[in-house]
Structure 1
Amino acid sequence: MKIKFETIKIYTLLFIVHFSWSQQNIKNLANEEWYFKNAKDSIKYKASIPGTIHTDLLANALIPDPFLETNEKKVQWVENEDWIYETDFYLSKKEKQFKNIDLECFGLDTYAILYVNGKEISKTNNQFRKWTFSVQEYLKEGKNKIAIYFQSAVKNGRKESEKLKYTLPGEEKIFTRKAQYQYGWDWGPRLVTCGIIDTIQLKFWNKSIIENLQYDQKQLEDSFAEIEWMADIICEEEGTYHFQWNENTFIKQLTKGKNKINWTDTIHQPKKWWCNGLGEPNLYGFGLTLSQNGDILDKKELKIGLRTIELVREKDAIGSSFYFKINGIPVFMKGANYIPPDSFISRVTDSIYQSIVINAKKANMNMLRVWGGGVYASDSFYKACDENGILVWQDFMFACAMYPGDDSFLENVKLEVIDQVNRLQHHPSIALWCGNNEINEGWHNWGWQKQYNYTKEEENIIWNDYEKMFHEIIPNAIKETVANKQTIYWPSSPSIGWGKKESLYQGDSHYWGVWWGKEPFEIYEKKVGRFMSEYGFQGMPALSTITSFTDKLSWKNEAIKTHQKHPVGYETIKEYMERDYHVPKDFDNYLYVSQLLQARGMQIAIEAHRRAKPYCMGTLYWQLNDCWPVTSWSSMDYYGNWKAFHYQVKRSYESLLLSVCKENEKYVIYGINDEVETKKGNLKIQLIDFDGTILWHKEEYITIKENKNKIITVLDDSLLQKVNQEKVVLSVKLETDKEKITSNYYFVKPKKLKLKKPTIIIKRQNETTIEITTNTLAKDVFLFSEGVHFEENYFDLLPHEKRIIHLSSPIENIIVKSLFDTLKN
């Protein structure tokens, strides 16, 4: 590594190895004993930090579990109360002697008044900001007390709303800079909480600290990369300071106050960071150490990835493109929309974030969209995305409402943006910053103007406030904060509402004609935009997930109804199920078929998007995960169980895909190659009946060029006039020198298939591997064993086909089911 320094002298500091870590220290206050109480009462209870008022009330048996039965209704009183958290801690003589003691708070939710030893030091009003307070003068040697008075966010929001002479869409939540989904969504409960949901600590320091460390990738070639680094140093004492940058050292004279220093790295033969499916997500580690006279004053470490990213929007004959280039290569984005994994975000561990990202990678995804109605995710989430090659479309936390535009609110948002961009900008996974979710569409398409009876003057004020927020305040704050010149900003997703034809010709699209519009799944094949950033269909969760909140499996059970937040969700599922499947009468089979229904609809959508490449260059379905046990659009339920949908996603997101569709009365087989190398292999097409008799076949050697789509072959509809389409399946297989790709296509809907009872045989190859076969077509084979994840599931098993399945752990017994088993009831 070669390092260039401007106006900086370079020295070899042999004594660097003898540095002592004595000039800066951290006291994690979460390790102290915390207590909470209702502000109206005197009785104190033990609290956990990080935590929320709901989780602390639950731990002390003061409320029932909001996730169980219909208990959500029983805890609504909590949001209207004020709560006090407090702790005592001790300060040693040595700690008190530090010249600077900062109280650092990450995740104060939301309206908090902070007291140190009985003196008010500050107030907070934003869950998404990092709050730092100088508290040296308030502390003393020995015993100290911190108390945090949390005011009701709901009451504060209502109070702010009363200041306006008109009503803004979104009710009281829009005035509070906290997680919007806590107020209830069509997949989540209303649990408006408060508390210390992240870190609270004391930072002791003398002389100087590193406030910020940034970089700008100036150039990236195959032979070298040039990076400009910038650091903000806060100095209490003017003087000469030593810096160690990995294995190199330099000296800098600093003045009192904020100092900005910069230097340049040159990395020879750099290893680039690639998203999943294109290469390895290589990371480089860097560390900056600040010291003086042998004492280390501060340290900062970053892991970065070297990559270029572009959002290409070029006019064409139809509209304009919308696609990402990674390291100069156009990439079709395959992924999902991510929401907070819990209604109580403080109890989401690093391992849960890692599991979510790994399960996205296992399903062949390369992008996740962090949706704007939740929270900015934990550091561990972005770290996992960096390490697994998952790009992040990052919304700012605004969704489905109009927001106030007064100066104090806008300033609060600006500081929020600065904090979050500073925290996240070094992650190579960050692909795009998006201003909001569906607000532009909501204003122009959802009828708010008529609903709220706005005057023209009020409409102008509200829209001007919107433009100021998302076209001035946020993008300007990003520009002022971010160092990396590759940063991409997109004001609102989608750019045009799904009801307008232009939404399919340019920008990103949220298509909800299916589900909200009750249109058939097949409409997905016609409604394909340039980048499909939202669409979806509901499916019920695993049976074990439902029994986790109720033991009564009946549609009359209020708990089952409560854990479906869409007002006509179950009715919509049933309506679509009647179109495509025989509707089972018993609950267990209904749950199973609802998952098949969801998977079938989403397969039609995803593969239509992929066949349309390069016109369409991205598909992000709604939604990846859940925040509680619920029937929703997710492909993985609250406990991380893969629905049939997630297994189908894994198949439909393969880098090399075979996809069959009907076009102009002919059946077309597409070969879709998202990899950067040409694929060659033997293609075998067979029309077989459900007993395995080959009725027609064709073989050919084919080539699919890198990063291209290709129509492999076209089958004339006349071929099918000679067979009973209700009893046959088209089997398409491609075998290359590295892989075997398969696809099965049916000519009628599942309810019209003339299925026979299959004899499914499972043989154990070893403790975690099984072989499964059948004598006749087994449609949608479902394997289940409590607590075990099957590598493949909800798959079609052709007659006499051998399928090898790997299991996450050894098992005693396996329950097996196929679609035929649902026909008897």
Structure 2
Amino acid sequence: MTTSAHSRLVRTPLAVGWQVHAASGPAEVGADPIPATVPGVVHLDLLRAGLIPDPYLDDNESALAWIGLVDWTYRTTISLSDEVLRASARHDLVFDGLDTVAAITLNGEMIAEVANQHRSYRFDVTRILTAGDNELTVAFRSPVKYANAQSIALGVRPRPYPLPYDAIRKSACSFGWDWGIATYTSGIWREARLESWSDARLAQVSLHAQPEGSGGVLWVHAALERAETVPLSVTVRIGDVTEVIEIAADAEHVQAGVRLDAVERWWPTGYGEPVLYDVEVSLSSEDTVLDEASRRVGFRDLRWDTTPDAAGTPFTLIVNDQPIYVKGVNWIPDDAFPSRVDRDRYRGRLQQAKDANLNLIRVWGGGIYESEDFYDLADQLGLLVWQDFLFACAAYAEEDPLRSEIEAEARESIGRLAHRASLVLLTGNNENTWGYEDWGWKSILDGRTWGAHYYYELLPALIAELAPHVPYAPGSPFSPGGGWDGSAQTGPHPNDEEHGSMHLWEQWNRRDWPTYREHRPRFVAEFGWQGPPTWTTLTRAISDDPLTPESPGMIVHQKAADGNAKLTGGLISHYRVPGDIETWHWAMQLNQANAVTCALEWFRSLAPHNAGAIVWQLNDCWPVTSWAAIDGDGREKPLYFALKNAFAPRTVSVQPVDPVQPVDPAQPADGGLVAVLTNDAAEPWQGEVVMRRIGFDGAVLASDAVHVEVAARETVRIDVPASLAVAGDAARELVTIEALGARGLWWFAEPRDSALAAARLSSEVEAVDDHGGYDVTITAEGLVRDLTLLVDKLDPSATVDRGLVTLLPGERARFRIGGAAAWVPDADAVISHSVARSGNQLVR
């Protein structure tokens, strides 16, 4: 075969001409091939062909479980001319993602057998390709059958769900979760292509942008794959700096530091601009560019302060020497079929996060390593990323074939993500180190491996080798100082609130949400409360007639163990359980928002002792009752506004002096309340703080005022005078603390035990654009608690900018509605009983 000298690498996507058919198993659609989309999975191909119903509707999930028991074969033809074949010395077949267990053949010759969704594959097929048509086949085995067989081969290990997701390197939640549909997908879920090249290519490009004073150094490491032993050069361009590195004919690696005299720092949102620099790395032979790679980097220092102090061990993120209070959310795959999530959808979801005053996204370990689009957008938006390695809530075997697969996927993922300005932490697992201690695993394992090698040895060693600038924690939760001595975990308990990060789930599972105040965590990486999706999303997905909290479709779309019982148990001490489904729906959404508000206000009041909170969870992967703030159709629940309000740059909250001591709510511990002013802005906050105890009728019963100065990024506590902190009539009074436009409230009684009257509202509607934008001004005649507009009932596409607004008698509030193009403006509709919802509607 002859080749043209020094030809450039050519990437040819393999995205057309695919077909898929059921090869074996209990297929209910026959064995005839149907058109397949790549990237994609077989469920979506069957759906497009009209052969299955939408898996997300009603109980179609169980009706389609057979798909995961079938072997599916994808097939396409690669047509190549003799000229194309001869133009390059090498032709590689590349798959960015295969889900999951597959045999790959080309022209009838077996290329490889693979079994890992979380890595890419490259195969030299130069010898096999011929001029003309080349038949490519990817034959997938049933993931359910494979996982079951591997579980037996490796030894059954503890996990919270029936199917052994721990025995296969596949997204754990594709086997179902307590918020997730079980899909058991198969397919070519990321891009497939043919790469043709000569001489050499860039096998990997790793970058680290390190600031130094007012300048910086871009550290570059490039790994090469060669077809010829010829001299090469690598050119690095960043800003107005270009550097050329000559490479010997036999070298396979190149390292260099490119110095810049002046750089602007990358900052997380709320702390400055996320300045990024474009980097171009090109590989050349003589004057021909053979291959090139583009990256964007940000210059910033970061570390986690875990220096022990008098209270234990902090877990404080510091970026560019600035402590960052982490306002985070946990992220799951945004669709149970992740290939449907494109850049626009990522952009919309991450912008929603930023608009809710969030600054960190934790990519949870039971999902996937997200696409480049996700991390690109996080870099651009200044959203910090905490990335779990993909282990969740289970014991994992440390033997092959799992062991080798895990090392390969970890190497690839570290190399792919390490240059990201947004990446602040790599974490070994989700809850596995905690589970080993507290969930009865030790006796069940009876000496078998459970994953300690990965979390305490393999992963930290790989990070030290490939990306020593990236911080690492063995697990979430995790206490700094903990380790593994070969037979047991050492150091503090992994979920000790005095040390590092912790998860708080007792409130949702067994207790009530005011008991969040019994904890003083240094950092909370998971906690949350359930609530149903928006009404439009719920009724689109479930066609029960009648629709009730316990009707069949509702139960299918409630995955948590005893979920509805926990919803009711968590509501009853605060509000009465409504009799009609729409009001039940609102009650559970409001209680979800109130629970998380209580927790976040308490955690922030503890700053800097508490250095952050990460709410479970931002998003959903399908329409379901869950802990999410944004439902499976992308609509914002009341919880979203709880995050937005509690994570605002400047907040006021009112807290009991001693929340652990059980007391009559009308008589706080020691008769004391404290007002907490949090200033997370870069400028000082000063002015008059007005404190009042008022009646529900608006009458001022006692008041006081003080001048307060709150420095930038600081928290100040003010003792509330006893004349305000003790109620005369708990059922009819509250405390308000107001400072420069922010307000904190303290209620002396639970709503159900209070004299909260029916809301009396009036409204005005004004159009602000031609695309369904309106300003709605609502005036309250009496006290209205947590007023929220469920605007999806006006128009399924509508959004609103605020919620959970408490109005004192005579006050008004403006709501900006957007996207309501199909709505005919109607002031009465806005304040109708089903749209303008409040806590007032739930007390009688």
Map of 1:772-783 to 2, 5 A cutoff?
772-783=778-789
Structure 2 equivalent of residue 5 of structure 1 = none
1:250–1:312 distance in 2 versus 1, CA, 3 Å = closer
One-letter amino acid of the structure 1 residue matched with residue 9 of structure 2: Q
Matched residue type, 1:369? R
Change over 3 Å in CA distance of 1:718–1:162 after alignment to 2: closer
**Alignment RMSD:** 2.2
Residues 209-288 of structure 1 aligned to structure 2 (within 5 Å): 209-221=201-213, 223-246=214-237, 253-256=246-249, 259-288=252-281
SS of the residue aligned with 1:532? strand
From the superposition, tell whether residues 43 and 557 of structure 1 become closer, same or farther in structure 2 (CA, over 3 Å): same
CA contact (8 A) 2:56 2:623 kept: yes
Sort the Cα spacing of 1:197 and 1:254 in 2 relative to 1 into closer, same or farther, 3 A.
Answer: same
Task: Tell me if structure 2 keeps the 8 A contact 1:127–1:178.
Answer: yes
Task: Encode CA deviations 1:317-350: one digit per residue, 9 max, x unaligned.
Answer: 2321111111111111111111111111111111
Name the residue aligned to 1:812: 824
Q: Quick one: distance in 1 between partners of 2:6 and 2:629?
A: 47
Secondary structure at the counterpart of residue 185 of structure 1: coil
2:633 aligned partner? 639
**Aligned partners of 1:821 and 1:684: how far apart in 2?**
26
Q: Deviations over 1:573-631 (max 9, x none)?
A: 10111110021110001111111101111111111111111111110011111111000
1:203 to 195, 200, 203: 195
Match of 1:725 in 2: 730
* Conserved 8 A contact 1:667-1:717: no
Where structure 2 has 5 or more consecutive residues not aligned to the other structure, the ranges are 25-29, 480-488, 658-668
Q: Is 1:136 aligned to 2:126, yes or no?
A: yes
Name 1:399's counterpart in structure 2: 392
Hey, what's the Cα distance between the residues in 1 that align with 2:631 and 2:242? 50
Structure 1 residue 694 displacement after superposition:
2.9
Measured against aligned partners, the alpha-carbon deviations of 1:101-150 in whole angstroms (never above 9, x if no partner) come to 11110110111111111211111111111101111111112222211000
Deviation at 1:47, TM superposition (A): 0.9
Shift of 1:43: 1.2
CA distance in 2, matches of 1:639, 1:144: 41
Match of 2:21 among 37, 45, 52: 37
- The letter of the residue matching 2:236 is W
Contact 1:217–1:306 (CA under 8 A) maintained in structure 2: yes
Quote the Cα distance in structure 2 between the aligned partners of 1:257 and 1:118.
Answer: 35
Which range is displaced more, 340-349 or 211-220? 211-220
The answer (yes or no) to whether the contact 2:576–2:843 under 8 Å persists in 1 is no
Q: Would the aligned equivalents of 2:282 and 2:293 in 1 still touch at CA under 8 Å?
A: yes
Q: 1:755–1:610: structure 2 CA closer, same or farther, 3 Å change rule?
A: same
Deviation at 1:258, TM superposition (A): 5.0
Q: Is the 8 A contact 1:109 1:197 kept in 2?
A: yes
Deviation, structure 1 residue 407: 3.6
Deviations 1:158-195 (A, max 9, x none): 22222246545465221110000111111112211110
Q: CA–CA distance in 2 between the matches of 1:183 and 1:216?
A: 37
* SS of aligned partner of 1:39: strand
Question: Partners in 2 of 1:248 and 1:606 — Cα distance?
Answer: 45
What is the aligned length? Answer: 787
CA contact (8 A) 1:237 1:255 kept: no
Using the TM superposition, give the Cα deviation of residue 748 of structure 1 relative to its aligned residue in structure 2, in angstroms. Answer: 1.4
Query: Corresponding residue for 2:483?
Result: none
Summarize the Cα distance change of 1:413–1:188 in structure 2 as closer, same or farther, 3 Å threshold: same
Deviation at 1:444, TM superposition (A): 1.1
| Greater mean alpha carbon deviation, residues 815-824 or residues 202-211 | 815-824
Q: Is 1:486 the counterpart of 2:469 in the alignment? A: yes
Q: Which residue pairs with 1:12 in the alignment?
A: none
Flag the 1:218–1:557 CA change in 2: closer, same or farther, 3 A. Answer: closer
The corresponding residue for 1:741 is 742
**Which stretch shows the higher mean deviation, 571-580 or 230-239?**
230-239
Q: Deviations over 1:704-725 (max 9, x none)?
A: 0122211134231566443x33
Show the counterpart of 2:359. Answer: 366
Q: How many angstroms apart in 2 are the aligned matches of 1:761 and 1:245?
A: 63
Distance 1:78 1:432, change over 3 A: same
Structure 1 gaps of 5+ residues are 1-19
Contact 1:235 1:256 in 2 (8 A): no
Deviations 1:200-240 (A, max 9, x none): 0111111121222222344432x222232222233323334
Question: Once the two structures are superposed, what CA deviation does each residue of 1:441-467 show, in whole Å capped at 9, x if it has no partner?
Answer: 1111011344x3x5xxx32x325xx22
Q: Does residue 758 of the first structure (1) align with residue 765 of the second (2)?
A: no
| Secondary structure class of the residue paired with 1:696 | strand
Q: Distance in 2 between matches of 1:823 and 1:470?
A: 47
Change (3 A) 1:250 1:491: closer
Question: 1:63 matched to which residue of 2?
Answer: 52
Query: How far, CA to CA, are the matches of 2:540 and 2:710 in structure 1?
Result: 47
Aligned equivalents of 2:42 and 2:218: distance in 1?
45
Name 2:644's counterpart in structure 1: 650
Answer whether contact 2:208 2:219 (CA < 8 A) is retained: yes
**Aligned residue for 2:478?**
495
User: What SS does the corresponding residue of 1:137 show, helix, strand or coil?
Assistant: coil
**8 Å CA contact 1:607, 1:652 repeated in 2:** yes
> Hey, what's the Cα distance between the residues in 2 that align with 1:21 and 1:579?
75
Taking a change above 3 Å as real, the CA distance of residues 250 and 531 of structure 1, as seen in their structure-2 partners, is: closer
- C-alpha distance in 2 between matches for 1:48 and 1:92: 24
Counterpart in 1 of 2:617? Answer: 623
The aligned runs of 1:248-647 (5 Å cut-off) are 253-256=246-249, 259-450=252-443, 452=444, 454=445, 458-459=446-447, 461-463=448-450, 466-482=451-467, 485-495=468-478, 503-516=496-509, 518-552=510-544, 553-647=547-641
Does 1:705 find its partner at 2:717? no
- C-alpha displacement of 1:435: 0.5
Output the CA distance in 2 between the equivalents of 1:540 and 1:309. 38
Is the contact between residue 679 and residue 685 of structure 2 (CA under 8 Å) also seen in structure 1? Answer: yes
1:778–1:818: 8 Å Cα contact kept in structure 2?
no
Distance in 2 between residues matched to 1:480 and 1:721, nearest whole Å: 62
Deviations 1:255-289 (A, max 9, x none): 45652223322223321111111111111111122
Compared CA separation, residues 174 and 818, structure 1 to 2 (3 A): closer
Using the size of structure 1 for normalisation, the TM-score is 0.91
What is the one-letter code of the residue matched to 1:748? Answer: A
Contact 2:209 2:419 in 1 (8 A): no
Runs of 4+ residues over 6 Å off in structure 1: 499-502
